[in-house]
Amino acid sequence: NQNIRIAITPGDGIGPEVVSEAVHCLEALRDKYHLPLEWIRFPWPSHAWHEKHGESMPPDALEQLQRFDAILLGALGDPGPAYDNARYLLPDSVSLAPLLQIRKHFDQWVCERPARLLPGAHQYLADVRARNVDMLVIRENSEGEYVGQGGRLRQGTPDEIATQVEIFTYRASERIIRYAFEQARNRAQQRQASGQPRTFHGQSGSESTSQVCLVTKRNALRHWGDLYTEVFAAVARDYPDVALHHELVDAACMKFVQCPWAFDVVVASNLQGDILTDLAAILSGGMGVAPSCNLNPDNLELPSMFEPTHGSAPDIAGQGLADPTAMLLTTARMLEWLSQKTPQLGVAAEALFNAVTADLADYSGQQRDTQSIGHSVRERLR
């Protein structure tokens, strides 16, 4: 009978602005549905904290976060004054480090990023079929290209050699690929239940109500490409109902623009998934509407982290220009996730999702500021 506890971490740039709308919606939902929800707002991780303490978060940050059921994060990153320097342009890396630390510490091995072109969202592709984009990109979130191994030999000299080691394990590959197949099945069932089944083609020509597309660069990055391919084939045997595809990452990016409506579930490595999900976000209407989450499906006692795909967008920060839609969809996904612990939250998740999508459809393309959108969604929740 304990409350569900959420750590609210607004972060940098537009983070606080969009998080603030999410919190208003959480309040409205809590009051309406008498939800056992509580939250605490943290000033870290953030660039400001870093400026003051030399670290993006306090030494016991991960221990503090561990006491929560979920982390709701706005956005991290502030390039600082280097951004204005014409001769030395460095995308920020320091203030983003906590993101990777949190994902790693709580073993949030799934990064789930749905890309569905909701009614009212901007369509970047000319083809009318792009309206039907509705895919789920599953990104391996615990290893691969992001293990931070390697270094710089003879740094700063003409003889310098920099290395970066990618590490892939059977264990992490198997769980993420299996997770993708499970999601494909769930999606097919949901479509069936709502009377909107879809048909997908496997690479072999077979037909099915769901599909998983594996992405690798097996022809150049052989070692883990082969591992992924073999694991994919093995896991697929347990899912004869799911159509199979295997795309090389370059071809996958191309097809995301050429025929994104042909994809259902896509599973990819950490870096390739990062790239594909940014592309997919555009297909769903842009960063303003692209939700994301970092999940540990094995252990609900550890907090999963919910953050929109977008970054801190320092160029528009503080001006009320940021679209909070992505943040609100992310919040709905958080409530859905937490309903595994407290089923009551499922209703709130649905209510929030419906309010956001209805609002998006009604104001289709109209320029509104952050607070107007938040306010309008909140009104619909009452």
Ligand X SMILES: CC(C)[C@H](C(=O)O)[C@@H](O)C(=O)O
Per CB under 6 A, residues contacting ligand X are 96, 99-100, 219-220, 250, 274
Dig out the tokens for 343 from the structure. 């089923």
* DSSP state letters, 190-250: HHHHTT----EE-TTS-EES-EEEEEE-TTTSHHHHHHHHHHHHHHHTT-TTSEEEEEEHH
Which residues face 293 on adjacent strands? 112, 306
274 noted as active-site residue:
yes
Find the catalytic residue in 69, 78, 274, 323: 274
Dig out the tokens for 267 from the structure. 């599973």
92 makes contact with a copy of itself (CB under 8 A): yes
126 makes contact with a copy of itself (CB under 8 A): yes
Q: How far is the CB of 113 from ligand X (least distance, A)?
A: 8
CA distance 371 to 112: 27
Q: How far is the CB of 262 from a copy of itself (least distance, A)?
A: 14
Nearer to a copy of itself by Cβ, of 40 and 220: the residue is: 220
Dig out the tokens for 107 from the structure. 């073993």
CA distance 335 to 26: 9
Interface of this chain with a copy of itself, residues 208 to 237, rule: CB under 8 A = 214, 216-227, 229-230, 232-233, 236-237
Find the catalytic residue in 217, 228, 239, 323: 217
Q: Give the alpha-carbon dihedral of 316, 319, 325, 328, to 10 degrees.
A: 110
CA distance 256 to 129: 12
Interface pick for a copy of itself out of 115, 177, 249, 332 (rule CB under 8 A): 249
* Pattern 170-199, a copy of itself, x by CB under 8 A: xx--x-------------------------
Dig out the tokens for 381 from the structure. 């929740």
Nearer to a copy of itself by Cβ, of 98 and 374: the residue is: 98
Dig out the tokens for 18 from the structure. 């969009």
Interface pick for a copy of itself out of 75, 102, 118, 125 (rule CB under 8 A): 125
* DSSP state letters, 16-50: HHHHHHHHHHHHHHHHHHT--EEEEE---SSHHHH
Which of a copy of itself, ligand X, none does residue 33 bind to, with CB < 5 to 8 Å depending on kind?
none
365 makes contact with a copy of itself (CB under 8 A): no
CA distance 185 to 216: 22
Nearer to ligand X by Cβ, of 100 and 227: the residue is: 100
Interface of this chain with a copy of itself, residues 153 to 172, rule: CB under 8 A = 156-171
* Pattern 284-303, a copy of itself, x by CB under 8 A: --xx----------------
Which of ligand X, a copy of itself, none does residue 85 bind to, with CB < 5 to 8 Å depending on kind?
a copy of itself
Nearer to ligand X by Cβ, of 90 and 220: the residue is: 220
